[in-house]
Amino acid sequence: MSETIDSGPLTAEQIRSLQEKHYNATIIERIDSHTDLSRFRIRPDTPFEPFEPGQYVTLGLGNWEPRLAGTQREVLPFSKQSKVVQRAYSISCPMLDPLGNLKSVNSVDYLEFYVTLVRKADSTEKGPPALTPRLFRQQVGDRLMVGKKIVGHYTLGPEIRPDETILMLGTGTGEAPHNAMTTELLVNNHRGRIVNVTCVRHRKDLAYAKEHARLMDSFGNYCYLPVTTRDPENLDPHHPRYVGKQYIQELFVSGRLAEMAGDPLDPKRTHVFLCGNPAMIGYVPPGAEPPVDPGMIPLLKHAGFQDAHDYHGPGSIRFEKYW
């Protein structure tokens, strides 16, 4: 059953008081790709100090805020009605301004977030999705909470040399930190190949496609590779452009990814960044059984790459995880 839940027993005056107490930022722009995918540009009341592309911060909304119609029903006890629900999101960036100039995370006075609406919890979650059904009700001018500190170790780091290859592999909105990293590399005149791979179900899920196309026109060393798994050319063998389901793991193992990137992806000169679906990343906790279908970490290791623990030079694998 799906419905919009009202704000319960809290009065309008109580809600205003809670909003004034907890909210410290304003939505200044919302760019909808479709009903379930949006880019939110949010300006904090107090500007952040410069931070590293790839880092993240929490967004929060009060449980008193209404939920979007058509999302999973949520029943909250009175004791939780006045609580703020928070989730961590990697910070993306606009990449380009309307005139085609590069716009990195530290060149704008807002934070950009790339968010998918979660309409219903999956079988591994304890309750209905709490934040996005509320966030997708919000419009320009609405208030919300941004965490006090931008954090995270998923960053480019100082070890990357100007001529080395950067390979970024993401799924869905896991593209967000890679967009911030890409722009930073281009701003700093990185000369090596920059390969940004994004796997989505449908082409309509590529919210930054126009920006990437303009970047490739302007920078010969930049390569954006969007691949899909559920569009007609992925499912229909009779489609004139049939390619089958395109998964990053299979493209890498087959050598097709290197061909598409125009780069050998040699571990002696390539840095790898992974963000998105844990199944794609392929991190296996110590003592856990490896999955039948391996993710990218074991495949990369087999190809000569290594985990970035103390070493972050060429051949290192860095990955973002929220789980």
Domain architecture of the chain: domains with CATH: 12-146 (2.40.30.10), 165-319 (3.40.50.80)
Global pTM? 0.93
The predicted-structure confidence for 132-184, as pLDDT tens digits, reads as follows 999 999 999 999 999 999 999 999 999 999 999 999 999 999 999 999 999 99
The predicted-structure confidence for 199-224, as pLDDT tens digits, reads as follows 999 999 999 999 999 999 999 999 99
Higher pLDDT, 111 or 287: 111
pLDDT at 6 exceeding the cut of 50: no
Distance of alpha carbon 230 from alpha carbon 207, whole angstroms:
17
Mean pLDDT of the chain: 94
Supply 18's token pair.
């809670």
3-state secondary structure 226-291: EEECCCHHHHCCCCCCCCCCCCHHHHHHHCHHHHHHCCCCCCCCEEEEEECCHHHHCCCCCCCCCC
For residue 180, the surrounding DSSP H or E stretch is: helix 175-187
- Interval 273-279 mean pLDDT: 95
The pLDDT assigned to 126 comes to: 80
- Interval 56-71 mean pLDDT: 96
Specify whether the CB–CB gap between 118 and 74 falls below 8 A: no
Distance of alpha carbon 43 from alpha carbon 56, whole angstroms:
15
Distance of alpha carbon 113 from alpha carbon 127, whole angstroms:
24
The pLDDT assigned to 58 comes to: 98
Specify whether the CB–CB gap between 118 and 132 falls below 8 A: yes
The pLDDT assigned to 284 comes to: 86
Distance of alpha carbon 235 from alpha carbon 174, whole angstroms:
24
Supply 60's token pair.
């929060």
The predicted-structure confidence for 12-47, as pLDDT tens digits, reads as follows 999 999 999 999 999 999 999 999 999 999 999 999
The pLDDT assigned to 322 comes to: 59
- Interval 285-313 mean pLDDT: 90
Number of helical H runs and strand E runs in the chain? 9, 14
At 63 the three-state DSSP class reads: coil
Distance of alpha carbon 298 from alpha carbon 283, whole angstroms:
8
Give phi and psi for 33, each to the nearest 5.
Answer: -80, -45
pLDDT at 3 exceeding the cut of 50: no
Distance of alpha carbon 192 from alpha carbon 299, whole angstroms:
23
DSSP character for 121? Answer: -
The pLDDT assigned to 78 comes to: 85
- Interval 96-106 mean pLDDT: 96
Strand partners, 170: 198, 275
- Interval 266-277 mean pLDDT: 97
Least confident of 31-35, 210-214, 271-275, 317-321: 317-321
